[in-house]
Amino acid sequence: MELISFELISNVGEAKSLLMEALVLAREEKFDEADAKVATAGEFLSKAHHSHFGLVQQEANGEQLPFSLILMHAEDQLMTTETLKMLVEELILTHKKYSK
């Protein structure tokens, strides 16, 4: 459980950093680089979702999983980073629109 939680935290942390870097690049009108960072962030988020889905499957199959504050923190980070990704994508589009 701890290993999966820390995998989640690690992948989500990397995604969050990449998203913030993408936002800075968009502000500097480096849109191709910003888009690449968002894409890479998406790959890290996919890895995190894959780890998390394994736990969801275990529980759905009737396995009793122990409560973990670390996992709860990891899930919180996952959801907030998903929201951040959507916002960054919209902000990049806005930067693109107004840079013309």
Burial of 79 (0-12, 13-18, 19+ CB in 10 A): exposed
CATH number at residue 69: 1.20.58.80
Integer CA distances (angstroms), 30 to 37, 39, 63, 98, in order: 11, 15, 48, 13
- Is 73 among the residues known to form the active site? yes
User: Does the predicted model carry a pTM greater than 0.85?
Assistant: yes
- The domain containing residue 82 runs over which residues? 2-99
What confidence tens digit (pLDDT) does each residue in 43-55 have? Answer: 999 999 999 998 9
Q: What is the pLDDT of residue 100?
A: 82
- The number of folded domains in the chain is 1
pLDDT, average across residues 26-51? 97
| Model confidence at 73: pLDDT above 90 | yes
Handedness of CA 36, 42, 45, 51 (dihedral sign): negative
Task: From the candidates 49, 50, 52, 73, give the one annotated as an active-site residue.
Answer: 73
